[in-house]
Chain A
Amino acid sequence: MTTLFDRVWDAHVVKQLADGVALLYVDLHLVHEVTSPQAFAGLRREGRRVRRPERTLATVDHNVPTGERAVAVADPVAALQLDTLGTNARDFGVELFDLTSPGQGIVHVIGPELGATQPGMVIVCGDSHTSTHGAFGAFALGIGTSEVEHVLATQCIVLSKPKNLEARITGSRAPGVSAKDLILALIGKIGTAGAAGHVIEYTGDAIRALSMEERMTVCNMSIEAGARAGMIAPDEVTFAYLKGRPRAPTGQSWKSAVERWRALRSDPGTRYDTQAQLDASQVGPQVTWGTTPGMVADIGGRVPDPAKLPEPEREAAQRALEYMGLVPGTRLEGIPIDRVFLGSCTNARIEDLRAAANVVRGRHVASRVRALVVPGSQRVKAQAEQEGLDRVFREAGFEWRNAGCSMCLGMNADVLGAGERCAATSNRNFEGRQGRGGRTHLMSPVMAAAAAIEGRLVDVRAW
């Protein structure tokens, strides 16, 4: 019995180094400005080259300003890091989508957009949300900078084979319930370390019913459950998404690729190391109340009372509520917010922007709220502008920005002030993640859009 993950793993073993430890070949290496400079410096120091520049793709995303592109980057430290990637890309022959490129964007948005992300690949990047690419049936994982250097030099990575967890999600979603709600509910159920040491394979009719972009949202947050990676077996939805994309195969090689990709699935009746289940029909819109993505509840719920939680969770919940400025028993619906962030590699693709635009069309952001839309890539931005979504957002009082990671991690100027409360479509509500002292509530794009209009957390199903 073989799983999807086993198949991809086995096909990439260059050499078995020890029991369970293999040298794996990397098909696609994505690079960005923050976790690569020390890796390239290491290559230079040792006189090493990039083994396969054509399998390496670089972009700038983490610290880029999202304002006017014609203006020089104001932060000199960030500017040096961006310039360093430019120099490294040129010196080592790596393709770079820089600030002036129409192809620039968040690394996990542009890989799929280009069709560079394909089923059955091993994909790595010095970024934990590399799990996003698993939506195509790739084994895609985040790595550290030393490993980035290793992959640049050898096109391989040394890994201990993780275990395999099946997350079976069944049933149909109610209107107003998004892919984001499914993954948040799953993390709430299994915990932020619930999939540690595992690769998750998402299965079940609720997963099959998702669009490609929704699948990316689900796989993106696999890391928030502690997983090494998330995967979804490719199907007609996958092939339809990829067909005709710039880096996808064409003609006869497209046909043979699809034939190969169809074999990428787990054998029926396969036993996984670990199992988890979720009934999608029981999931409502989710909102986090704490400082880990696992501290999450249905919008109809209340802020929990730490005293009533089991002992290991009590202290963490107490700390979280103190940081979040929330009182136990408070209804989540109605909590006032100051900021809204529509963006990130989790939820800033065209479908996310369309869904959010539908909520805000003809309405206006509450006077107390400052709201930001940061498209995942410049191509997503261009597409949205072609559809007139930028006008919808602007007329509703949102700021319409250029692509980047932006306020997901606040490395650029887009940050929360201390005590500011934000409805965010991103992936992490850690202390200080969006700015020191900032308070993050994670949710879906439609929930964040509705919160922007009302100036408080609301149940989008009532709209």
Chain B
Amino acid sequence: MVTPFVRHRGKVAALPRANVDTDQIVPKQFLKGVERTGFAASLFFDWRASPDFELNRPAAQGATILLTGPNFGCGSSREHAVWALAQYGFRAIIAPSFADIFTANCYRNGVLPVRLPGNEVDILMRNAAHGNYELVVDLAELRVTDEQGFSTSFSADAYGRELLLRGLDEIGRTLLEEPSIAAYERSHS
């Protein structure tokens, strides 16, 4: 079951890096399990070993919105990356672009990927640099706003948006298409 995402207000953590791959988000040694839980501690495991890492800073504690660079989530298809982000506490990720498989995984785990133009991400990065910066991400209205007057719209994949807004059980929904699936199989056997 997907956790619905309609509107979220939360603290922003900035990770100004490009091409953050899923090997960084969850290193390989944490992929050997058979459960969907217990991934919060493995998030950015190698990078978190450094005290200077962005998420280790006091200002980033309690953040629920991750602000980052282009092509976030590239590389391996491991859904563990999204499980780790969600279990660590992130509900939304804002970046100039995301990798395709990562995006699909987000929609199925109640995490919203928000794609904004690079110059707007830069503005938010500067705002977030002061710490204790909050944003409101509204999937119903397709808007990102702050209390200082920043406001912008974004677009979302229609299907992904529906999954998130309604917290749909995707398999249950597809199983309702059984007559179409059976008809396809009959005509292709």
Contact = CB atoms under 8 A, between A and B. Distances in A.
Interface of A: 14-15, 17-21, 23, 25, 34-35, 37-38, 41-42, 46, 48, 51, 62-63, 75, 77-78, 80-81, 84, 126-128, 141-147, 149-150, 153-156, 158, 160, 162, 192-193, 196-197, 223, 226, 228, 292, 312, 315-316, 319, 409-411, 428, 430-433, 436
Contacts of B105: 144-147
Contact of A410 (B28, B82, B181): B28
Contacts of B77: 35, 126-128, 142-144
Contact of B18 (A149, A153, A312, A433): A312
Interface string B155-189: 00111000000000011001101001100110010
B21 A430 contact: yes
B82 A228 contact: no
A146 B160 CA distance: 13
Interface of B: 17-19, 21, 23-24, 27-29, 31-36, 46, 70-71, 74-80, 82, 97, 99-101, 104-105, 108-109, 157-159, 170-171, 174-175, 177, 180-181, 184-185, 188
B32 A78 contact: yes
Contacts of B185: 25, 155
Contacts of A144: 77-79, 82, 101, 104-105, 108
A145 B35 CA distance: 11
Given A14-B181, A154-B177, 15 more contacts: A18-B158, A81-B32, A126-B77, A144-B78, A144-B82, A147-B108, A154-B174, A155-B185, A158-B170, A160-B157, A162-B100, A192-B71, A193-B19, A428-B75, A430-B21
B180 to A, nearest CB: 5
Contacts of B46: 431-432, 436
A207 to B, nearest CB: 23
Nearest to A127: B77
Q: Across chains A and B, which 10 residue pairs bring their CB atoms closest together, nearest first?
A: A144-B79, A37-B34, A146-B108, A144-B105, A142-B77, A193-B71, A128-B77, A145-B79, A77-B32, A430-B23
A75 B101 contact: no
Contacts of A20: 158
B71 A25 contact: no
A430 B104 contact: no
Contacts, number: 168
Given A78-B32, A146-B79, A17 B171 contact: no
A150 B170 contact: yes
Nearest to A42: B171
B101 A155 contact: no
Contact of A431 (B23, B97, B104): B23
Contact of B29 (A141, A197, A312, A411): A411
Contact of A226 (B76, B100, B175): B100
Contacts of B108: 144, 146-147
Nearest to B175: A154
B137 to A, nearest CB: 21
Contacts of B158: 18-21, 160
Contacts of A147: 104-105, 108
A430 B170 contact: no
A433 B23 contact: yes
**Most chain B C-beta atoms within 10 Å of own C-beta, residue among A141, A158, A197, A316:** A158
Nearest to B178: A154
Contacts of A19: 158
Nearest to A319: B17
A14 B36 contact: no
A156 B17 CA distance: 36
B101 A142 contact: yes
B76 to A, nearest CB: 5
A316 B157 contact: no
A411 to B, nearest CB: 5
A15 B171 contact: no
Nearest to B81: A144
Given A128-B101, A192-B74, A155 B79 contact: no
A162 B32 CA distance: 31
A116 to B, nearest CB: 17
A182 to B, nearest CB: 21
B34 A38 contact: yes
A153 B171 contact: yes
A223 B76 CA distance: 9
A269 to B, nearest CB: 28
